[in-house]
Structure formats: structure tokens, C-alpha cells
Amino acid sequence: MDDAVLIANISQQTFYETFAADNTQEDMEMFLTQQFTKGKLMLEVGRPDLTFLLAYAGKEIAGYVKLREGAAPQGLSTTNVLEIARLYAMKGMIGKGVGKLLMQASLSLAQERKKEAVWLGVWEKNQRAIDFYHRWGFQKFGETDFLLGTDLQRDWLMEKRL
């Protein structure tokens, strides 16, 4: 239960820190209170298709990744995949190797589970994240819609073959 509360709290905090400056306060509040609630996030912990990895700097939480097994979107080169559903570093930890550590752990886990590819979705306006994924060998294979409050946004779908 403690892990569920921690993951829910850092999920909301990192999402807000990452996207608040580029979205309206109304859309952020609607998303966090209706679509991305603490209760919904807590229910994710313990689901058999989800794996959460937490990164720490000493005793301080530095970031996390949410990995999902299951259906793959159309356009992927294989269906034997692992999705990086979320990968976030706490604001004060950005640029300190947390993303690299979480990505390495995600790719290692995918290889242990004998996956052929890893995929993810990233907001088309989040250039820092897109550049990070390109450095890891991810390539765009499609696009999808993402609703943030009332704002319909476009996410790129990216894949890395293993």
C-alpha cells in the first residue's frame, strides 16, 4: 500500500512538473482530478501486466518507470513487446542520469523477458524527451491522440528493436 501511495504521488507530481508550463491550468486540473487521479494510479500498482521501477538518490525518490505488457499498437514490427508507459525523473533530478538508469533497467527487463522490441508514446511537443529516446535508438512508427483535459494532443509512437 505504501508503494501505491508513493507511485500515485510521484506520478501526479512529475506529470504536473513536466507539462504544466505548456498547458492551461484548467486542462491540467481537469486531467489530474478526472483522468489521472490518485485512486486510479494506486489501482495500477499490483496489476500483473504492469511493472514499476523506482530510482532513488540516497533515500530520496529520483524518478520512476511504468512498464506494461499486453496489446501492441498497429504499426509495430512485432507483437512481442514491452511498453514504456511512463518514464519520469523528479524535477530536481533531471540531467543527473536518472532517465538513463531507468531506460537501462527497462531495456534489461525487456531482454530478460525475451521481448523483441520496446515501444512508447511521447507528446510531439516534448522535444527533450524525443531527443532522449532518439539517443537510445527509438524510431517513430506512428501517432495517436491523447486527451489532456479538453485539449486533444498528438503523441508520437516510437519503437526500439532489441
Which residues participate in catalysis according to the annotation?
133
Q: Residues 106-109: contacts with CB within 8 Å, 24+ apart?
A: 106/53, 106/65, 106/67, 106/82, 107/136, 107/160, 107/162, 109/51, 109/53, 109/67, 109/82
Q: For residue 56, give the H/E element and its range.
A: strand 50-57
Residue 118 in contact with residue 6, Cβ under 8 Å? no
The greatest distance separating any two alpha carbons of the chain, rounded to the nearest whole angstrom, comes to 43
3-state helix, strand, coil in the chain (%, to 5): 40, 35, 25
**Nearest residue to 53 via CA among 98, 14, 115, 96:** 98
